[in-house]
Chain A
């Protein structure tokens, strides 16, 4: 299957190639051909959530033009994939765009959702002998309704010790612009999240949404707490042979 990768802003820039390459390599191991439409930009969520819908529409239309001929679109962030699902609603007043948006939304997937629900893969042959916990991102759970896939994938990783994060359904306090606009509240929320992570005694916090990971990771580091933060693709890309990521 040919997959068009939507790497997302944070995946492209903030995490350098770290996350993206694992996504590509895991998808390839799953038998996909991965293409990267060069013209991609942002899904438009920051503008959309801030109420700048004119600007969000510009981003959405560009996204549609860039991805509409894809067989499937896969993104390593539930929230960004979720934004694509919003497009039909956003463009409801423009019938032709609405229709294109709907078609695109139907073939857009979050990374783990694509592996499990489309490719029917729950064991990718990964090996990761560490104690981990998993942060269920809000948009992935509540807007994309993806809950089982990441857990199934992690449970099948060899050597892994997986603990459920207490209060997993609670937001980490990222919320895009919320994280700076409501800094004081966001701080309380991320501190709660950090506390729950520490309570699990996990060595690694895994997530499927880069915004959340940037927020939680940034706070963990600031507080000097030694918990590594990884995207689920990075974990799934660990193999027994070397314990290192494969590919390069």
Chain B
């Protein structure tokens, strides 16, 4: 699938999102539930801020020594008989993975949820190589059955669908005849997928965190599909973004704690599995263990002002509190990574060409920054993007530039500033060009008043009032003053 999920323009996508009543209802109630559960469980801890600081320190330390820890991890995997491949590009990663599939003569591949596999378009590559790829995460399976509808949330991928829609998909694609009750739907999925699992040649999983010291990968899930994918097939391939690593099990403890609480408000998810290569002959589990470590643009972020974006543990806490996401939904972001982290990450991985609106799709309310368990300053990174868009990429429009330069002059020259005029609020003069995103669109005031009134500003400006008052009422008040 790749990172980009749509060819529509940003504003077309937003328009579609806003008009999709069901999706909006689903998203807002999901946000309320997820955020409610997270707040409850973090408040109960009492020292959430300490946990956040610790987690930030761990992530920062790991990123600063990423070359060291990746090397240590790879050596430790190989020492135990596993195979590690480092891939700079999606093509390199897919080539390795399809080669493993060919060697194993694999027909059927069972996949657990993995964002990075979406990122590199792995399913398509494997299908081209003649394999059948089956998503085993319930949400991903629903999307796959529904003609590869893109995910709209990184933890709950089919968040934008209701149970009737899901029932319909099951009915059309798999002949399901039962009701739309989630229990029934899930039971049906269990039965269907269990059969598939039993025949799978390879299990492919993501990797929540690799453990450098142990040469282990960890998988954090609730459904049990990642366990199945690493129990039944003879071959396991884990695909991981290169930053998803911790030094030892002790740091894994902290980050898994943060991930489970932030993502779904659980103390621990139902299953957390730590895997190292097995010597084989264990009666189940993989006899062949591969890890593919993927860069795909991440190294360009290392060593820059955006490095903290790599601290991300993919919990979606920022998405669950974002008021913009609430109204436009995941597909509006045009990326498999939606919400605040998506708006930060997508342009870094893919460039500004298709994604230059994303950094502006935020009111900078900072709810994301506050929610982040590893303290990524998300809204500040969005401002950094805006800065690069105008200063480095020169993508700011002419009108905006003229206004901002005028602003710079005006704010440092008080006499000029005052002339900003009182009927036209100065601030309104400053705001950007039209919503069509290019050329000289309608003026900001016109846009403002499309949906709102301007305050009725009869009478003097404050400056004038204050000046007039001097020597008048104020002196009269002086006696009342309590000295402090």
Contact = CB atoms under 8 A, between A and B. Distances in A.
A touches B (Cβ under 8 A)? yes
Main SS at interface, chain B: helix
A31 B484 contact: yes
B426 A174 contact: no
The interface centre, meaning the residue of A12, A58, A176 with most chain B CB atoms within 10 A of its CB, is: A12
B128 interface: no
Contacts of A44: 411
B361 A180 contact: no
A42 B426 contact: yes
B18 A16 contact: no
A177 B64 CA distance: 36
Given A36-B466, A50-B404, A184-B15, A222 B366 contact: no
Contacts of A161: none
Contacts of B462: 7, 11-13, 15-17, 19-21
A176 B383 CA distance: 13
B435 A52 contact: no
Nearest to B392: A51
Contact of A14 (B323, B361, B455): B455
Given A11-B462, A53-B391, A59-B412, A180 B366 contact: no
Given A138-B363, A180-B448, A185 B14 contact: yes
Interface stretch (A149-157, A187-195, A200-208): A187-195
Contacts, number: 252
Contacts of B464: 17
Given A13-B426, A47-B430, A174 B363 contact: yes
Nearest to B442: A180
Interface residues of B, number: 78
Interface stretch (A104-112, A126-134, A211-219, A235-243): A211-219
Contact of A41 (B410, B447, B465): B410
Given A13-B422, A31-B482, A31-B484, A142 B367 contact: yes
Given A40-B414, A41-B412, A188 B18 contact: yes
Contact of A178 (B364, B417, B455): B364
Interface stretch (B87-95, B174-182, B473-481): B473-481
Interface in B402-420: 404-405, 407-414, 417, 420
Interface residues of A, number: 81
Given A177-B431, A183-B451, A184-B18, A17 B366 contact: no
A49 B454 contact: no
A219 B483 CA distance: 42
Contacts of A36: 463, 466
Given A17-B462, A179-B448, A58 B455 contact: no
A138 B365 contact: yes
Interface in B61-94: none
Given A17-B465, A21-B462, A215 B452 contact: yes
A36 B465 CA distance: 11
Given A16-B458, A40-B414, A46-B407, 4 more contacts: A41-B413, A42-B411, A142-B367, A183-B435
The 3 closest A-B pairs by CB, nearest first: A175-B363, A51-B386, A218-B452
19 contacts: A9-B426, A10-B425, A14-B454, A16-B460, A29-B480, A31-B484, A36-B463, A39-B414, A41-B417, A52-B408, A53-B387, A55-B405, A55-B407, A59-B408, A59-B412, A142-B367, A178-B360, A179-B448, A247-B477
